[in-house]
Amino acid sequence: MLRYAFLLLAFSLPLAAQSAAVTGAVSDPQHAPIPNVPVSLTNMDMGTSVHVNTDAEGNYDFEFVRPGNYMLRVENPGFRTFQQGPVRIDVDQRARINVELELGEAASVVNVDAGEAAVQTESSTLGTVTDTRRILAIPLNGRFILDVALLSPGTVVPSTNNRTFLAVPSGVGSSGINASGTREDSSNYVLDGINLSDMVQNQITLQPNIDMVEEFKVQQNSFSAEYGRNAGIIVNAVTKAGTNEIHGSVYEFLRNQRFDAKNFFDPPGPIIPFNRDIFGYSAGAPVIRNRTFFFTSYEGRDGHEVASIKTLVPTDAQRAAVTNPIIRQLLGLIPTANDPTGTFFVGSAARNRRQDQWSGRVDHNLSPRDFIYASFIINRDNRLEPTLQGNNLPGFGDQRPAQRYFPHSATPGYSLRA
């Protein structure tokens, strides 16, 4: 039995880091607590409900609540039925909803409309939540999720100096965030409770496509016990789940040189090639209504660009003065000056990138108290970076193929009964 309990606890830890909770107290008109009152919390998107009874002091507590829109309902003989919703519950939120029942028939219902839960008084954590509507409404150059995180207070873009190990070209997105005065390698990135930070450089391993993210929270201070590891912020994201409604999207975003102005340092003639194509889809639906749901997405990125290069190279006179045969051979690898001054090489080098990212998630409700879900991300990319790490000559640079897999499953251990 102990072995099974440990296994359930191990499964529950990632879920605890990306779920929420709803707590509160039930009282009568004289503010006296009412014990053993049935309280139900219904996910309005999935149609699933969980139920608890208040304790001897009238308190109730729903742990491991998935982010979403909920309806809270309280029924007790001799009192009017209380119903409040929709209440929006965000990732890592511990919302308090206190209920004061009115005397009357249970058949009569007191409806309280509420778009968001009251001010969070159950936790001292400071953070900014961004939901899917805001994510999709913001015009993003490149559609990178960390660009949205930079809208949170105290965050700035890291240095783009090539000597900084986290600096990357804009075509693949930022690998880190400077926040609250800390370095960019002091931030931590979490998706569905799983760490996305690189173990060596502590940069984000991959940026999930924005169509698969339900919402995320940038936590700046006062982290609770399940977090830590870094002195900076925590970017805590949750993937989308399927609902009782069929929903999805298909998209393509294209940029090329036909829409761009000429670079100041480009040589005379046509604008050098610049092509970025982002395309994909997302889809979610019920498998069994009110019980089993799925969500899947794909995003591809295809970039074909040319980096402008203007590099100081040895002049003809300097080349002629070299007598060492080995150095003369090395000089053959460096292009000759082609600008009017005879001191600079002006040219270009190919910068190609390809990325394919697949994601999927399945949610299944075992009972009114028990649920389980599984998710995965597959990310494959190949990049040719001609100017990375200070390189400024054509024919050099860095090619980086990579494949990353993130399978993940989680079960709330508290609700499974032996």
Q: Is the pLDDT of residue 9 over 50?
A: no
Q: Is the pLDDT of residue 352 over 90?
A: no
Alpha-helix runs per DSSP H in 145-203: 145-149
Q: Is the pLDDT of residue 6 over 60?
A: no
Confidence of residue 270 (pLDDT cuts 50, 70, 90): confident
Selected residue with higher pLDDT from 150 and 363: 363
Spell out the domain ranges in the chain: 19-112, 126-415
For 38-86, the DSSP string reads EEEEEETTTTEEEEEE--TTSEEEEEEEPSEEEEEEE--TTBPEEEEEE
Residues in the chain: 418
Q: What is the pLDDT of residue 124?
A: 59
Establish whether the linkage from the previous residue to 340 is cis, with ω within 30° of 0: no
Q: Is the pLDDT of residue 204 over 70?
A: yes
Please answer whether residues 377 and 358 qualify as being in contact, where contact means their C-beta atoms are separated by less than 8 angstroms. Answer: yes
Please answer whether residues 354 and 381 qualify as being in contact, where contact means their C-beta atoms are separated by less than 8 angstroms. Answer: yes
Mean per-residue pLDDT, 315-331: 90
Q: Which of 13-27, 161-175, 185-199, 220-234 has the highest mean pLDDT?
A: 185-199
State which amino acid sits at residue 115: G
Q: CA angle, 394 as apex, 392 and 397 as ends, to 5°? A: 70
- Give tens-digit pLDDT for 103-120: 887 667 777 776 554 555
DSSP annotation of 158:
P
Q: What is the pLDDT of residue 418?
A: 33
Q: Is the pLDDT of residue 96 over 70?
A: yes
Query: How much of the chain exceeds pLDDT 70, in percent?
Result: 83
Please answer whether residues 278 and 253 qualify as being in contact, where contact means their C-beta atoms are separated by less than 8 angstroms. Answer: yes
Q: What is the pLDDT of residue 401?
A: 74
> What CATH class does 126-415 carry?
mainly beta
Q: What is the pLDDT of residue 54?
A: 93
Lowest mean pLDDT among 15-19, 142-146, 176-180: 15-19
Lowest mean pLDDT among 275-289, 319-333, 382-396, 403-417: 403-417
Confidence of residue 220 (pLDDT cuts 50, 70, 90): confident
Q: How many angstroms separate the Cα of 379 from the Cα of each of 132, 166, 173, 324, 401?
A: 21, 19, 15, 48, 11
Q: What is the pLDDT of residue 160?
A: 61
Alpha-helix runs per DSSP H in 111-257: 132-137, 145-149
Q: Is the pLDDT of residue 16 over 70?
A: no
Mean per-residue pLDDT, 265-273: 76
Same fold for the domain at 19-112 and the one at 126-415?
Answer: no
Q: How many angstroms separate the Cα of 341 from the Cα of each of 148, 218, 331, 332, 408?
A: 45, 51, 19, 20, 59
Q: What is the pLDDT of residue 78?
A: 87
Lowest mean pLDDT among 70-79, 186-195, 259-268, 277-286: 259-268
Q: Which helix (DSSP H) or strand (DSSP E) does residue 294 occupy?
A: strand 292-312
Q: How many angstroms separate the Cα of 299 from the Cα of each of 146, 172, 210, 235, 285?
A: 16, 13, 9, 21, 19
Radius of gyration of the chain (CA): 28
- Give tens-digit pLDDT for 76-94: 888 889 999 888 888 878 8
Q: What is the pLDDT of residue 326?
A: 92
Per the DSSP assignment, residues forming a β-bridge with 39 are 52, 74
Q: What is the pLDDT of residue 5?
A: 38
> What CATH class does 19-112 carry?
mainly beta
Selected residue with higher pLDDT from 375 and 5: 375
Direct distance between the N- and C-terminal alpha carbons of the chain, in angstroms, rounded to an integer: 9
Nearest to 363 by CA among 351, 373, 376: 373
Can you count the helices (H) and strands (E) in the chain? 5, 22
Q: CA angle, 273 as apex, 394 and 302 as ends, to 5°? A: 95
Please answer whether residues 61 and 23 qualify as being in contact, where contact means their C-beta atoms are separated by less than 8 angstroms. Answer: yes
Per the DSSP assignment, residues forming a β-bridge with 415 are none
Mean per-residue pLDDT, 130-134: 76
Per the DSSP assignment, residues forming a β-bridge with 171 are none
Please answer whether residues 87 and 97 qualify as being in contact, where contact means their C-beta atoms are separated by less than 8 angstroms. Answer: yes
- Give tens-digit pLDDT for 296-312: 999 999 988 877 788 88
Please answer whether residues 356 and 278 qualify as being in contact, where contact means their C-beta atoms are separated by less than 8 angstroms. Answer: no
User: 145 φ, ψ to 5°?
Assistant: -65, -30
Confidence of residue 272 (pLDDT cuts 50, 70, 90): confident
- For β-strands 155-156 and 274-288, DSSP reports them as unpaired
Q: Which two tokens stand for residue 148?
A: 């949205």
Selected residue with higher pLDDT from 23 and 395: 23
Q: What is the pLDDT of residue 93?
A: 82
Q: What is the pLDDT of residue 13?
A: 46
Query: How much of the chain exceeds pLDDT 90, in percent?
Result: 18
Please answer whether residues 81 and 37 qualify as being in contact, where contact means their C-beta atoms are separated by less than 8 angstroms. Answer: no
Q: What is the pLDDT of residue 41?
A: 92
Q: What is the dihedral of CA 8, 12, 14, 15, to 10 degrees?
A: 140
Q: Which two tokens stand for residue 359?
A: 């994601």
Confidence of residue 288 (pLDDT cuts 50, 70, 90): very high
State which amino acid sits at residue 177: I
Q: Is the pLDDT of residue 167 over 80?
A: no
Please answer whether residues 76 and 101 qualify as being in contact, where contact means their C-beta atoms are separated by less than 8 angstroms. Answer: yes
Q: Is the pLDDT of residue 268 over 80?
A: no
| The model's pTM | 0.77
Mean per-residue pLDDT of the chain: 80
- Give tens-digit pLDDT for 386-397: 776 667 777 777
